[in-house]
Amino acid sequence: MKTFQLLLGSALIFLSFSVFSQTSSLIDLHTAVKTGKIRVVNRDLTLITEKSYSGISLSKDYGEGIAWLKDIEFSNGILEFDVRGEDLKQHSFVGIAFHGKDDSTFDAIYLRPFQFKAKDEILRNRSIQYISLPHFTWQVLREKSPGKYEHSIEPTPEPNSWVRVRIVISNSIISVYINNNQAPSLTVEKATQVNGGKVGFYVADTSGGDFANLTITKSN
């Protein structure tokens, strides 16, 4: 009986691990690029190979740019990745798009690194932003609900350094954690009823950006 119980316990542990491994995936971005699993919109893409950061870089250009991951659909769960922008005023907007329906319809969370250490508190409170395009741009959200969809980040990251971003999406609630902080830097309710779609790295007008170490965890 004890032997059976031990075997049953081992089987359950293995099953639990197997279920988790099916829903949590570390995306090899280099392989994705080389096998045509990334579709780039309005940017050029190059590979990055740095210690601890094997990823991609999107070039600077006018308009918004996205690197969509093909064959990945995401609804609820966790998006976790490293991102690097730069301390260049009004020219660095780096993050991730999700629940994408097409190249102009998606939600996104992005950082404004040039605001991380701004002396003006109003500007510092614009360090991280949620948007839902095409209707809920940052301009619309800021005008209708000042301070609700953007916030400061504490402790303050270095503007030119890699930043770890963890986005937890549970139905209509989005919480964003920066650099392994226990408290979220931003928590918002989605602006639309869209609850699933594509995932891709995002840069806004005139911005480039670097991205690495993407893990996608899907909730059942």
The pLDDT value given to residue 24 = 86
The pLDDT value given to residue 88 = 97
Whether residue 102 is contained in a domain is answered as yes
Task: Strand 105-111: give its sheet, edge to edge.
Answer: 38-41, 65-69, 198-203, 94-102, 105-111, 128-133, 150-151
97-122 burial: b if 16+ Cβ within 10 Å, else e? bbbbeebebbbbbbbbbbbbebeeee
The pLDDT value given to residue 13 = 29
Whether residue 9 is contained in a domain is answered as no
The pLDDT value given to residue 12 = 31
Give phi and psi for 216, each to the nearest 5.
Answer: -115, 120
Whether residue 126 is contained in a domain is answered as yes
Q: Which residues pair with 134 in a beta bridge?
A: none
CB 43 within 8 A of CB 203: yes
Give the pLDDT confidence of 45-78 residue by residue, as tens digits. 999 999 999 999 999 999 999 999 999 999 999 9
Whether residue 10 is contained in a domain is answered as no
Whether residue 19 is contained in a domain is answered as no
User: How many Cα atoms within 13 Å fall on the side-chain side of residue 207?
Assistant: 28
The pLDDT value given to residue 51 = 95
Whether residue 83 is contained in a domain is answered as yes
Whether residue 1 is contained in a domain is answered as no
H or E element in which residue 22 lies: helix 2-23
Whether residue 5 is contained in a domain is answered as no
Domain enclosing residue 150, as ranges: 24-218
The pLDDT value given to residue 5 = 34
The pLDDT value given to residue 79 = 98
Count up the domains in the chain and report the number.
Answer: 1
- Domain CATH number, residue 172: 2.60.120.560
Q: What is the mean pLDDT of each run of 10 residues along the chain (220 residues)?
A: 35 34 82 98 98 97 98 97 98 98 98 98 98 98 97 98 98 97 98 96 98 94
Distance CA 86, CA 92 (A): 6
* CA pseudo-torsion sign 42, 33, 207, 109: positive
The pLDDT value given to residue 23 = 77
